[in-house]
Amino acid sequence: MEQDRTGRRNTRRGVPGNSWRTLDTSPGRFQIRGTVVVVVVVVVALVLMARLVQVQLLQQDGLAHSASEQRTVQTPLYADRGAVTDRDGRDLAYTMKASMIVAFPNQLETYMADRYKIDKRTEDNPDGALPPDEQLDEIVDELPDMLEGDTGAVKKEDLREALTSDSNYVRLVQNVDPDIAERIIARWPELSTENQDVRQYPNGAVGANIVGKYGWVGDGVEGGQYGLELSQDARLQGTNGSVTSDVGNDAVIPGTVRDRHPAVNGDSYRLTLDTDAQAYIQQQVQQAKDKAGAESASAVVLDAKSAEVIAMATSDTINPMGDLDKQVDQGKEFTNRVVENAFEPGSVAKIMTAAAAIEEGKTTPDEVLQVPGTIEMSGVTVKDAWDHGVVPYTTTGVFGKSSNVGTLMLADRVGEDKFSEYLHNFGIGQASDLGLPSETAGYVPDLDQWSGGTFANLPIGQGMSMNLLQMTSIYQALANDGVRVAPSLISSVTSPDGTKIPQDDPEETRVVSPATARTVVDMFRAVNQTDPTGVQQGTAPAAGIEGYQTAGKTGTAQQIDPDTKAYSNSNYWITYAGIAPADDPRFVVGIMLDNPQRSSDGSGGQSAAPLFHDVGSWLLDHYNVPLSATEAPRLILEAQ
């Protein structure tokens, strides 16, 4: 007890921090505290009531909308891509249902650890889960075997790299059979599966230059990459739909499904192609390219009357079902040279000069022309491919022997204006609009742009360019009694409900009269004529087919030297176009070899004629075309 200044003890209880103050325990003190508490409670209640009013009355619509948006899900309904078939309904491209195995690497270890805690392996539970590291090893070691070759080789090192990456999502394996995918997920629930539509090309590389390929085109989007799959992508893919529903606890809330917009499946295409013919001709084209030592080789077959494309083959065509990168490294290509590549046709185009001269009445097949070795034309000197003096060639012989000089003599009679009209009517410089991407129109100068030497080049197939389809179309016009029909590839289009969608009839152009067409085809039988003496022999006897009359024309066109920008004396396009049978046309075949070193059969010289023989023989046999009723009459090429 402390004492005060008078010495008396202070009996008051001290207050911390102030030994001279005493604790106030009066009734008024407790009343003040109670009032403060009441005020605080009232204020809090008022705030809560205000917030309740705000939520229930003022923000009701907005919050309800936000809540609805958070639980509303719009699920896409994917359309089925249309199929592509050949003329007989055999599949060229179709879509099958498959599965894709995916994983979430940045969450995978957590998933594995959780399963291990729940279902670790013990003696009583030997099929339970392993620790995460061992589970990863198990997936890497056993997953490839479970695929059973279903998707091709799956490398273990690629699997491990994908599963241990920092990615949120990876595709491990695509194109998996759904039953196999289900077994994989049952074994490793940490993985996941997604539905996948897989485009199938059952014929591999056969016709791939035409049909093309469907796949990833960038930014996670799939579509047509080249060929018909690209040019007709919008109609093949159809239109995706959607359905809206509300989701709670990862499940659709019953009764909330609404706004259903069904998917509209894609249209299906039937082509004019014959798969058997395409397979055979594609094989023959590849062999010809290899035997000839050419940069490439191409061939196209048209129905002589309808101009339907029966086959359209190029060498080194890529297989869309194979390893694309590996094939590209091997020199395989996605392109369709038949319609995409333009070249100077050379003498194969002389048949247009012949048709113009006959139609205009400027000559007859048996007229004898005194043909010198050279000619001055439009200020340019042109000579034949072989040296000779004046030779008495018939008009038939001019083309059977492929005389440049004789051809220009006849072109001069036709004149520039008329000749220009025939070029247009034969479709030169005009794309055929076959329905494939990247089709070139070729090139021919307008008449008002012709220079001094133009008319010395065009009648013999130089100074203009065309693709192989256009070149073949010239011969189709003459095989079809003088009417050029625009080539067609798409036979019909069918909507998802089975309705045939009408297609426009191909454009037809009367180029020459039926009589002229028949005369010209008969004249060009001379090209395939044989003669032991060589005098009455044409330039391509190797193109002849035993038992059938055939007509056609060879072509050799100089390429442009990239260094000198002038015509090369060593690099050529070698062409051939022919009609079989010539007496009752069924097929027109066009062939082009890019800079071959030998003939298409590997023999000496440079010629595509042997390939025409092989292709024509197969077609006539395959379609059971009757033999010609009579042998072709002997034609006079050189007067004696």
Task: For 172, list phi and psi in degrees, rounded to 5.
Answer: -85, -50
Q: Do 576 and 609 touch, CB atoms closer than 8 A?
A: yes
Query: In this predicted model, which residue has the larger pLDDT, 131 or 404?
Result: 404
> Could you confirm whether domain 77-271 is CATH 3.90.1310.10?
yes
pLDDT computed for residue 127 by the predictor? 80
- Residue 11, pLDDT above cutoff 70: no
Share of the chain above pLDDT 70, in %: 89
Burial of 580 (0-12, 13-18, 19+ CB in 10 A): buried
67 class by beta-carbon count within 10 Å (0-12 exposed, 13-18 middle, 19+ buried) = exposed
CA gap 86, 213 in Å, rounded: 16
Count CB-CB contacts under 10 A for residue 489: 19
| pLDDT given for residue 62 in this prediction | 58
Residue-level pLDDT at 128 = 83
Q: So what's the pLDDT on residue 64?
A: 54
- pLDDT score at 16: 45
State the pTM of this model: 0.81
pLDDT-based confidence at 14, cuts 50/70/90?
very low
Domains 77-271 and 275-578+600-622 share a fold: no
Eight-state DSSP code of residue 627: P
Q: Among the listed ranges 161-175, 284-298, 401-415, 572-586, which one has the minimum average pLDDT value? A: 161-175
Looking at residue 168, what is its pLDDT?
87
| 9 confidence band (pLDDT: 50, 70, 90) | very low
- With 80 as the cut, is the pLDDT of residue 236 above it? yes
Q: Which residue has the higher pLDDT, 377 or 354?
A: 354
State the Cα torsion 393-396-400-402 to the nearest 10°: 60
Query: What's residue 410's pLDDT?
Result: 98
- For residue 27, the model assigns a pLDDT of 60
pLDDT on residue 26: 59
- Locate the domains of the chain by residue range: 77-271, 275-578+600-622
| Residues 6+ away with beta carbon under 8 Å from 563 | none
**289 has pLDDT over 80:** yes
More confident residue, 79 or 299: 299
pLDDT for the residue 177: 86
pLDDT higher than threshold 70 for residue 335 = yes
Summarize pLDDT for 42-80 with one digit per residue, the tens.
Answer: 777 777 776 666 656 655 565 455 555 556 777 777 888
Domain range 275-578+600-622, CATH architecture: 3-Layer(aba) Sandwich (3.40)
Quote the pLDDT of residue 10: 47
Q: Is 250 exposed, middle or buried (CB count within 10 Å of its CB: 0-12, 13-18, 19+)?
A: exposed
For residue 3, is pLDDT > 80? no
pLDDT of residue 329: 92
Instruction: Tell me the pLDDT band of 327, cut-offs 50, 70 and 90.
Output: very high
Cis peptide before 496 (omega within 30 of 0): no
- The lowest-confidence range among 204-218, 239-253, 374-388, 497-511 is 239-253
**Lookup: tokens for 572:** 């050529």
The pLDDT of residue 130 is above 70? yes
The larger pLDDT score, comparing residue 116 to residue 257, is at 116
Q: Confirm if 228 and 269 have CB atoms less than 8 A apart.
A: yes
Mean pLDDT of 430-435: 90
Tell me how far the alpha carbon of residue 470 is from its chain's centroid: 20
pLDDT, greater one: 88 or 503: 88
At residue 628 the predicted structure's pLDDT band, cuts being 50, 70 and 90, is very high
pLDDT digits (tens, 9 = 90+) for 515-550: 999 999 999 999 999 999 999 999 999 999 999 999
Contact by Cβ (8 Å): 416, 450 = yes
- Judge whether 492 counts as a catalytic residue: no
Region 327-331 average pLDDT = 92
pLDDT greater at residue 159 or residue 581: 581
The answer to whether residue 119 scores a pLDDT higher than 90 is no
Catalytic pick among 231, 245, 315, 347: 347
DSSP character for 266?
Answer: P
Mean pLDDT in the chain?
Answer: 88
Measure the CA–CA gap between 352 and 301, rounded to whole angstroms.
Answer: 19
Phi–psi pair at 632, nearest 5 degrees: -65, 135
Higher pLDDT, 7 or 539: 539
